[in-house]
Chain A
Amino acid sequence: MTAEVAVLGAGMHPWGKWGRGFVEYGVKAARAALADAGVDWRDVGSIVGADTVRGGYPGYVAGATFARALGWQGARVASVYAACASGAQAINTARAQILAGLADVVLVVGADAAPKGFFRPAGGDRPDDPDWLRFRVLGATNPTYFGLYARRRMAVHGDTHEDFAQVKVKNAAMGALNPNARYRKRVTAEEVAASAVVADPLRLLDICATSDGGAALVLSSMEFARRHGAAEPVRIRAVSTVTPRYPNTVLDLPDIATDSAAGAEPSAESFRASIARAAYEEAGIGPEDLSLAEVYDLSTALELQWYEDLGLCGDGEGAKLLREGVTAPGGRIPVNPSGGLASFGEAVPAQAIAQVCEVTWQLRGQAGDRQIPDARVAVTANQGLFGHGSAVVAVR
């Protein structure tokens, strides 16, 4: 088990389609996190930005971009890109600096102004880029991958359209209570079923939208937190950023094919499950200790997969867990009390940070109408392009 870092502050810019630049969202979130922490920006020793690939150079140097907008003050600076795990890797970079004694207080910021419609690769003819290839050769969008996983679950585990719809119903009900969520309306299973098919078997309301948004955290050493008057802050106890293991035999974005298992036996554990296990091991906890989880519900079907990969239930039992209400508010382990990506939409570099903001508010008992009573241990999890994934364990 590694040492802990304190979460002194959390802040967001509400998700939506605001039509403004990502810097504005990030700065708004950063100022909110600093205010929440009661820390002056000039006292922050390091800033870590989670990169957005859209927006040209300023997006690729997010740390410095946010630092400039907040006012140059001489802090250490870093920028991190890891697809959907960008925010968690930014948190991990901050944590490593704190634990190494390089900084007492670190500001972590992620923000994006996402394009409308399907995500697409960066421009130009780039046949050496798997992301470019999957679009050029197959027209395979993110939803088509989610469709493949969903259809596979239906064939192997017997999941139904109705099971998938119930994930949306659950998450939308929570999102309706979240002032930072983009969609704040309850949804019925009938509305999901009536929405257009995007990628069989998934419909529009099974798939998360692209959004604008920002999220930020102020992290510090436990000693600084005590000096600062935060005797019992929410603590981050683990950050998992592991890669897959060869051969990765589950088709994975953005690849056109899996690794072959002809030359080496695959691990019995899936990539997603290994992300969660690494976090549990580092934190010295298990799924039975969790009060809540925030997971990437890029599609409704994917949330059910995460139940299994987080060890909340056995293989193929995700839909059963949902039907029993275990992952709903009031259940044994509520999942996505924030409303999830179903309610937020994707603002890639901000998402993993936003997950930690939500668990921070939940663990502090500050989550308002969506509060999970007596929350003590939380995990976040995601998986993204190019073998990235992350999980964060936070406790109080």
Chain B
Amino acid sequence: MVTGWFVGDGEDFRLLGTRCSACVSVFFPREDTHCRNPGCRGGDLQEVPLSRRGRVWSYTDSRYRPPSPYVTDPELPWEPYALIAVELESERIVVLGQAVPGVTVADLTVGMEVEVVPGVLGEDAETTWTTWRWRPTGVA
């Protein structure tokens, strides 16, 4: 559904952004057309992997089934999942993502360290949609 947002498996899994060669601004989701910094003369936008680890800026969860285009099976009972906004120190950016299954808001605190891991958003007969997930470090 979107390409070039992440790459790799297991320990090598990383979110991908782009970085402006002139002003070093980082963009996620990737910006491939123009640097959006109004004070920048405009540089090349180069793909860069983002930091694997960051700190929780805030978190919440989704106790009710989100509407389409989020894909869920209406036949199955709704399983709430947590959403985590994560601050990446060197990029100075906050990236939102779902928590890994099993991690609830009760397991989270603002400032806690988390890392990015691969996950599956959904699948049907033809396609498996992969995604990124945030997982507290030290959790298997």
Contacts and interface: CB of A to CB of B under 8 A. Distances in A.
B63 A263 contact: no
B85 interface: yes
Nearest to B27: A260
Contacts of B40: 263-264
Given A200-B105, A260-B91, A144 B60 contact: yes
A132 B69 CA distance: 7
B23 interface: yes
Contacts of B125: none
Contacts of B81: 139
Contacts of A282: none
Interface in A113-170: 117-118, 120-121, 125, 127, 132-141, 144, 147-152, 155-156
A22 B136 CA distance: 47
A148 B110 contact: no
A257 interface: yes
B26 A260 contact: yes
A348 to B, nearest CB: 16
A251 interface: yes
A277 to B, nearest CB: 19
A143 to B, nearest CB: 8
Given A141-B67, A147-B60, A155-B110, A264 B95 contact: no
Interface residues of B, number: 51
A256 B110 contact: no
Q: Which of B24, B64, B72, B109 has the most CB of A within 10 A?
A: B64
B52 to A, nearest CB: 16
B58 A148 contact: yes
Contacts of A141: 62, 66-67
B85 A259 contact: no
Interface in B79-117: 81-83, 85, 90-98, 105, 109-111
Interface string A192-212: 000011111110000000000
Nearest to A153: B58
A346 B51 CA distance: 39
A327 to B, nearest CB: 24
A246 B74 CA distance: 41
A254 to B, nearest CB: 10
A127 B60 CA distance: 24
B59 A151 contact: yes
A249 B26 CA distance: 12
Contacts of B2: 127, 133, 137
A152 B58 contact: yes
Contacts of A149: 58
Given A133-B2, A137-B2, A140-B96, A262 B67 contact: no
A137 B1 contact: yes
Contact of A262 (B24, B62, B68, B69): B24
A257 B94 contact: yes
B110 A156 contact: yes
Contacts of A264: 23, 25, 37, 39-40
A270 interface: no
A69 interface: no
A152 B68 contact: no
A260 B59 CA distance: 19
A96 interface: no
B25 to A, nearest CB: 3
Interface in B107-140: 109-111, 121, 131
Given A139-B62, A200-B60, A251 B110 contact: no
Contact of B97 (A138, A151, A247): A138
Contacts of A137: 1-2, 121, 131
B28 A120 contact: no
Contacts of B67: 117-118, 120, 135, 141
Contact of B60 (A118, A135, A148, A246): A148
- State the 6 A-B residue pairs at the shortest beta-carbon distance, nearest first: A147-B60, A263-B25, A155-B110, A139-B66, A263-B23, A139-B70
18 contacts: A120-B68, A120-B69, A133-B29, A134-B96, A136-B70, A138-B96, A141-B66, A141-B67, A147-B83, A148-B85, A155-B58, A155-B110, A155-B111, A200-B61, A257-B94, A259-B25, A260-B28, A262-B93
Given A139-B72, A259-B93, 13 more contacts: A118-B64, A120-B68, A133-B29, A136-B70, A147-B83, A198-B63, A249-B94, A256-B28, A257-B28, A257-B94, A260-B91, A262-B91, A264-B39
